[in-house]
Structures are given as C-alpha cells and as structure tokens.
Structure 1
Amino acid sequence: MANMLSDVIGAHAPLKIVLLQPTNLAAIDFRIMKVFPALNIIETGLHNGDIGPNTTVVETSSGTMALGLAIVCMHVGLKLHIFGDRAIEPPLKRTLEELGAEVHLVGATASDANLQLLRKQALLEFIDRTGATWSRQYDNLGNRLAYARPAEEAIRQFGQIDVLVATVGSGGSSCGLANYCRAFFPEMKLVGIDTFGSVLFGLPAGRRDLRGLGNSILPGNLLHEAFDEVHWLGANEAYQAAHRLHRETSLKRGPTSGAAYIVAKWYAERFPRSKVLAVFPDDSSRYENSVYDPVWMYEHGYRSELARTEPVLVHYPLGANRGWCRFDWSRRSLPAVMGSPHSVN
C-alpha cells in the first residue's frame, strides 16, 4: 500500500509550490487534488475493515473527487459508482468509465439549487438496494486529514505562511490544510472562497453557475470557526480570473484555481509583508470547451468588462449578492455570524 500511495500521488497529484508575483505570493499547485482524500479514505477503510476486496464504493460528486476515487479504486481493484449530474461533461464521464467506474447522472440541470440533495437521494436508494459503502467525502474525517502531507510540503518549500487562500466545497482541503499549518503558525489567516447560491457561509441555496466550489448542503468537514475571512465570487469573475492566471503566469488552470489566484493576489498586493499561499485545486482539462472557448464565453454572457476586479466589503453574509464580495468572518460559528448582523447591505 505504501508503494501504491507514492506511485498514485506522484503520477496524478505531484506536490509543487509555484512562486508567483508579487514575490510574497505562491501557490500549492495540484493537478488532481482530490486524489489525496480519495486515497486516504480508501486506504483507511481497507486498514480498519470497513472496506473489503468485494466492497462496492459509492460517492456523490461531479468533479475531481469522482476522478480521484476512480483512480484509487482502479489501483486497488474496487468497484465504484459515482452519482453526479450534468456538470460531468462527456469527456470526464468517459474517463471515469474507462477507469472502471459506473456513472449515474441525476435528472436535473447543473444549476438546480437542490442538485446535491437529488444526487444524495439517488445514492442512498442505491445503497439500500445493494449494501454499497459510501465514502462520504463531505463528512469523512479522512478527507481533512489527507491534507497533512501537502501542508507539510508547502511549509518545507515556502516557509512561514501568513495567509492561506482556498476555495471551499466539502471543507476538506481548506480546513485540513489550515489545521496542519496552524500547528506551526497559529496566527495564520484562513481566507475561504465560496460562490453565490451556496449555503456554506450563510447564503440561501440557489442557482450556481460556478461549479467546483460551493455546496447546497452543509458538510461535516467544514469548520466555520477556522475562517478569518470569506469571499464570494460569481462565475464571470472566476472565469476571467482563470484567463488572468494563464496570461500572467502561463499556468492554465480551472476557474476554482483562478478564483484562488485573484483573491490571493489581492491580499499579497495589499499586505506585502505577509506571505500568501493560494490553493490551486484543478487543471484546465475540463474547461477547454467552455471557459477557454471564446465563443462559449461570449454566448453565455461572460465578458471581462462585466467582471469585478475588487471585492466589495459587506457587513453581513446576506449582503453578498453578485460579483465579488468579502466579509470578516473572524473565526466564528455559522450561528454566531448569522444571528447578529451589524447591518445588511
């Protein structure tokens, strides 16, 4: 298992710290970030007996967790069923199936507010029929714990980290990286990035054009008290940021990486004495026919002149409604923040 761990990580998620501009900015650059939690969850299950050689693993995902699990389950010979939606584009679906996974797409569009609940319902019905084992990326502690190794490598290569900027979906990478880093740098600031229509930081569930971050359910791996500040970005802002990241650094990555880049760069430019580390969770392979296709961008109304390039400070989460907004979370619980608004913008 140890050799398999090294081989899988080395092939699919090599750890690289990329130095950027300004000089106090860097990124931990993953190719397929979710290989880390997928491998940790499956490895732990095999070790403690929750997963056996004939176990069928199931998960709800329409992105890189599905791919991470498909890679790991292929290596250890486990059957995998993924419950996703139409955000799984045909190329990704073919990749998952070639790795041996069976993909079930729920009958809903990718922007439905209740999308993840529908996926979960289909998954639970499958478990009732088959007795399959759910890897539970949203609540499995193995998700958060998987990021100790990337955090250790980031500290080894980058040194002290004053600000960590990460997009938030399951809470695993942001809270996992922060937990390990704060063992060395307890004052480190954690900045989370969400999107509009996501319930993670107090907004009502709604249409989410930007995928890869955000959630329509509250995952157990999300620790609100870990966050110092929260930013919300719209799809256009993240898409334009991915192009900006490519133009300015030559790194062609997905919009979640773009979102992390512009927020981290905003911090690095305003606090030049602070060392800022951004988390780049994805490459561009899923977005060549959308975000990186100028015709698709134009037809869907995503234009650079319409994107905000600075965040608007709001004094209560419900004041965040479009573009790019930020809020001082101050390591508080969700009820503490939502129960005492100072003002609503």
Structure 2
Amino acid sequence: MILPSVIDVIGNTPLVELSRVTRSLGLEGRILAKLDYLMPGFSKKDRAARSIIEIARANGSLLPEQTVVELTSGNMGTGLAIVCGILGHPFVAVMSAGNSVERARMMRALAAEIVIVPQASGSKPGEVSGADLALVDQEATRITLERDAFRADQFGHAGNPAAHETGTGPEIWDQSGGEITAFCDFAGSGGTLAGAARFLSPLGVRCYAVEPQGARALAGEAVSTPDHPIQGGGYAMNDLVHMRDAPIADYLSVTGEEARENARLLASREGIFAGYSAGANLAAAIQLLRGPERGGCVAIVMCDSGLKYLSTDLWE
C-alpha cells in the first residue's frame, strides 16, 4: 500500500509483551507496551498533533497557510512540525531551555521556528518545572497574538484526548484481544491518559495516573519536589483540563531514578529504546503487578524515543 503522506502513518502502532522484564523480576501477570515511539515524530504526541490540526482546519478555526504556535517539551512540537509542514502551515515551537537539545534540533530539521525560553530562577538544566512551563506559556501566548496565529493548545484542545479515545484506547483493546485489566500513563497534558481511559474504563479496565514522587498534584497532595528529570510531564498541575471527570482508579508515583532505571531496563531486556516517561510507565506497571493488579494484564505506552535524550543523564 502506498500512502499519500507521512501523516497517514500516524497511529496503529504495535503492541508487544514485555515478557523478559516480567520473568526477570518474577512478576505475576503481563505488561503490554504500545510502541508509539515508532511513529514519524518518534512520540505519542503525533496522534494529538494530527487530531488538533485536522479538527481546527475542518471547523475553520485554522485558516489555510495560517501560522500555528504551541508550547512544547519537544514531542508535541515535533508532531506539529510534521503535520503543519505537510499541510502548509508555518509552525512556531516555544520550549523551555530545560528541555533536551535533540528535540529542538529535530524540530528545526522539520522546518519549525524554535523559540527557547530561559528557565525560571532556581530551575535545574534538564528538568522542566511548572514554573518553567508557565514562562513558556506566556511567551507562546504573546507570539500567538503578535502573529495572529492559531494556538494548538495541547493542554486545552479537545482534539488531544479525542486522538486517544478513538485511537490509542481502541487499538490497545483490539490488539490485546480485550485481555488488559489495567492501563497507566505518565501525565503531561493528560490527553493520552484521559482519552484512553474514557474508552477503556467502561470496558472494565482500571486506569491509573502516574506522577513524579514529590509532585503528586493530581493525587491532591502538596507538592514538595517539583524538580525531576522526567521531561514532558509531571508539571505539578492539579487542574489539567483533560483530566476533569476522567475515570481514574488511582494515582501512582515514581522517582526520577526509577524512571531512569526502567528506561534502561526496556533497552537492555526488551530492545525498546525509549525515553524517561516510558521508564516511568514501566515502573508504575511493575508497582501495579506487585500490588492491586497482581496477576493481571497492564498496558502502557512507550511515549517517545531514547534518541531524544542522548544529551541527558539517561544514557550515561
């Protein structure tokens, strides 16, 4: 089959069992990994990028050749750079200086304009906090107004969770033969978790939010440690639009070190070269099989590629 563009490659990623990990750890149950890092932009955000732009073009909120602006840790920006480039929209990615340099370089290669925002006072390089994200949002808002652009708004646009309610969730269910009992995901914008949960929860699948230890804002806890190395999420935001009324069974936490160790475990045991958030998802799935989901079947998403972290301490 010859496809008309790379946009048509987005979605329908493989689902693989992490049997080597479960055996090596002596776990009772199964972990299934959705390989979204294999998409054109090397991340799950390609789904939301396509969905938001297609909806906006269809309803007229995005006009032909109009500029698109969005804040990003790099993954959403990469997806938008691909979709916008093919559909004829200039794209401006606004990101924190705390994000890995590989992401900015990839977006530039895809013809995006990159605006780097300095980190908030006291922030650590390589770790993007909620305060850093707020500064990025301010700059993205300014540029949107200045250029009369369309703001993709991954944290608010309904196209984000819709991509996972109609894509990720159904794909996991169908590919697993309806065998999964639980799903967990590291929360960034909340789009993947909320969207997939809205499809999976009515089918009896328990869905869990994953947050960094010390920054469990969604769980309703006071934030004591907002800084962590898991880029792309864990911003200590307790009022994510997409998570409102999402059917969440419980809230899990992982440390940065657990995310790092499990990303390395994915690479060494399963040949899956993914990033920090994929490691966080695996750590959470292991928690579930050692606890409330013992003997069950937990699905997780491999959110992005390990190639985006070569300049960080993930692969030292």
> Which structure's CA Rg is the greater one?
1
1:206-285 maps to which residues of 2 (within 5 A)? 206-217=226-237, 218-223=239-244, 225-270=246-291, 271-285=293-307
Q: How far apart are the structure 2 equivalents of 1:189 and 1:14?
A: 22
- The 8 Å contact of residues 113 and 208 in structure 1, kept in 2 or not, is answered as no
Count of residue correspondences: 288
Provide the TM-score with structure 1 as the length reference.
0.77
**2:175 is aligned with 1:157:** yes
Higher relative contact order (CA 8 A, sep 6+): 2
What value does the CA root-mean-square deviation take over the aligned residues?
A: 2.1
Q: How far apart are the structure 2 equivalents of 1:167 and 1:113?
A: 15
**2:148 is aligned with 1:138:** no
One-letter amino acid of the counterpart of residue 73, structure 1: C
- Residues 73 and 152 of structure 1, relative CA distance in 2, 3 Å threshold: same
Please state how far the C-alpha of 1:50 moved relative to its aligned partner. Answer: 0.7
SS at match of 1:251: coil
Please state how far the C-alpha of 1:78 moved relative to its aligned partner. Answer: 0.4
User: Which residue, 198, 207, 216 being the options, matches 1:190?
Assistant: 207
User: What is the match of residue 52 of structure 1?
Assistant: 63
One-letter amino acid of the counterpart of residue 74, structure 2: G
User: What is the match of residue 32 of structure 2?
Assistant: 26
Please state how far the C-alpha of 1:14 moved relative to its aligned partner. Answer: 5.1
Structure 2 residues without counterparts, runs of 5 or longer: 23-28, 38-42
Q: How far apart are the structure 2 equivalents of 1:197 and 1:229?
A: 15
- Residues 209 and 262 of structure 1, relative CA distance in 2, 3 Å threshold: closer
Please state how far the C-alpha of 1:74 moved relative to its aligned partner. Answer: 0.9
Please state how far the C-alpha of 1:106 moved relative to its aligned partner. Answer: 1.0
**2:83 is aligned with 1:68:** no
Provide the TM-score with structure 2 as the length reference.
0.84
Q: How far apart are the structure 1 equivalents of 2:101 and 2:269?
A: 30
Please state how far the C-alpha of 1:258 moved relative to its aligned partner. Answer: 0.9
Q: How far apart are the structure 2 equivalents of 1:199 and 1:126?
A: 29
Q: How far apart are the structure 1 equivalents of 2:144 and 2:249?
A: 38
- Residues 273 and 8 of structure 1, relative CA distance in 2, 3 Å threshold: same
- The 8 Å contact of residues 12 and 171 in structure 2, kept in 1 or not, is answered as no
Please state how far the C-alpha of 1:170 moved relative to its aligned partner. Answer: 0.6
- The 8 Å contact of residues 194 and 231 in structure 1, kept in 2 or not, is answered as yes
**CA offset digits 1:123-174 (Å, max 9, x no partner):** 1111222211111100111100001122222111102221001111111001
Q: How far apart are the structure 1 equivalents of 2:52 and 2:128?
A: 29
User: Which residue, 190, 199, 224 being the options, matches 1:171?
Assistant: 190
**2:217 is aligned with 1:199:** yes
- The 8 Å contact of residues 128 and 228 in structure 2, kept in 1 or not, is answered as yes
- Residues 198 and 106 of structure 1, relative CA distance in 2, 3 Å threshold: farther
User: What is the match of residue 16 of structure 1?
Assistant: 14
User: What is the match of residue 125 of structure 1?
Assistant: 142
One-letter amino acid of the counterpart of residue 235, structure 2: N
SS at match of 1:26: strand
Please state how far the C-alpha of 1:281 moved relative to its aligned partner. Answer: 0.8
- Residues 241 and 72 of structure 1, relative CA distance in 2, 3 Å threshold: same
- The 8 Å contact of residues 130 and 235 in structure 2, kept in 1 or not, is answered as no
Q: How far apart are the structure 1 equivalents of 2:129 and 2:168?
A: 33
Structure 1 residues without counterparts, runs of 5 or longer: 295-345
